[in-house]
Amino acid sequence: MSMLTKEQIHQLNMYSVRLEEPSIPLFSIDDLMHHKTHECMVAIETISKSPNRVVAASYFMRRWGMFISMQFYLLTSSNLIWDGQNRAVFAVVEEYGLKTIGIFVKEEDFREVRPDERKAVIHTILKNQCHDVIMKIRQTCSVSPLTLWENIFGYLIWHYHVFLSTPLNTQNAYKDWEALCCDEVWKGISSSSRFQLYTGGKEPSQLLNGPVRKSCCFSKDVPGLMKCTFCPLSD
């Protein structure tokens, strides 16, 4: 029995997350987190044609950030979560005429979330899939953790703006937005909520049309990409 609907699978595909097996796997998140960190970063730098490791690290976190945003999308919209541990695989794909990194996961690794574990699930995503990955990447270069966290947060603003504008998802959206802003959920990661600091306590609709980032994501330095609309750097 399929855990995901066609609409959910389409949404995942829109954010470069695929459910089929890649024809030529590049590396897994397990490789990145353990014995092949350097080799993974070299591959990312090569595929993205980034000029240096810092730009490549930010590039990768923007790609991984899309998957993280889909975690929260499915949690809020459908009470589902990906529970695949380190089984996510990366491979080269083509998007808009450019070679990039796609993420491949298994449908059977998605599961329903019980009401009593919701905050714990959010903490696990932030700790295991965000913080730990960021810390591992930073062992290979001097990229700012703020840059990498903001690469994740940027996708969430739009999702929660849409959710809070839709009566069907409003209740879960408020719960999950408030959890992200709660210091308790960030224990073991940060002394306070990084997400609360990022949003400044504002609602998603207040953050859509103005500068929110404090750091540059270096998109402008990746061949084929452009400077972000809300880059904090002046022209």
Encode pLDDT of 12-42 as tens digits.
Answer: 999 999 999 999 999 999 999 998 999 999 9
Encode pLDDT of 116-162 as tens digits.
Answer: 999 999 999 999 999 999 999 999 999 999 999 999 999 999 999 99
Encode pLDDT of 173-183 as tens digits.
Answer: 999 999 999 99
Confidence grade of residue 193 (pLDDT, cut at 50, 70, 90)? very high
Beta strands in the chain (DSSP E): 17-18, 27-28, 80-82, 89-95, 98-104, 110-112
Encode pLDDT of 5-18 as tens digits.
Answer: 999 999 999 999 99
What are the distances in angstroms from CA 128 to CA 9, 111, 133?
A: 23, 17, 7
Confidence grade of residue 234 (pLDDT, cut at 50, 70, 90)? low
Encode pLDDT of 209-223 as tens digits.
Answer: 878 889 999 999 999
What are the distances in angstroms from CA 114 to CA 78, 80, 119, 186, 205?
A: 11, 9, 10, 20, 28
Q: Which of 96, 194, 98, 113 is nearest to 154 (CA)?
A: 194
Cβ–Cβ < 8 Å for 70, 150: no
- Per the document, the length of the chain is 235
The DSSP secondary structure of 119-186, one letter per residue, reads HHHHHHIIIIIIIHHHHHHTTTS---HHHHHHHHHHHHHHHHHHHHTSGGGHHHHHHHHHHHT-GGGG
Q: Which of 165, 166, 164, 129 is nearest to 148 (CA)?
A: 129
Task: Give the Cα separation of 59 and 210 in Å (integer).
Answer: 22
Tokens matching residue 42: 């070299």
Cβ–Cβ < 8 Å for 57, 143: yes
Would you state the pLDDT for residue 118?
96
Task: Give the Cα separation of 88 and 73 in Å (integer).
Answer: 18
Confidence grade of residue 235 (pLDDT, cut at 50, 70, 90)? low
Tokens matching residue 165: 């504008």
Parallel, antiparallel or unpaired: strands 80-82 and 110-112? antiparallel
Encode pLDDT of 50-93 as tens digits.
Answer: 999 999 999 999 999 999 999 999 999 999 999 998 899 999 99
Please give the single-letter amino acid code of residue 124.
T
Tokens matching residue 217: 């994501």
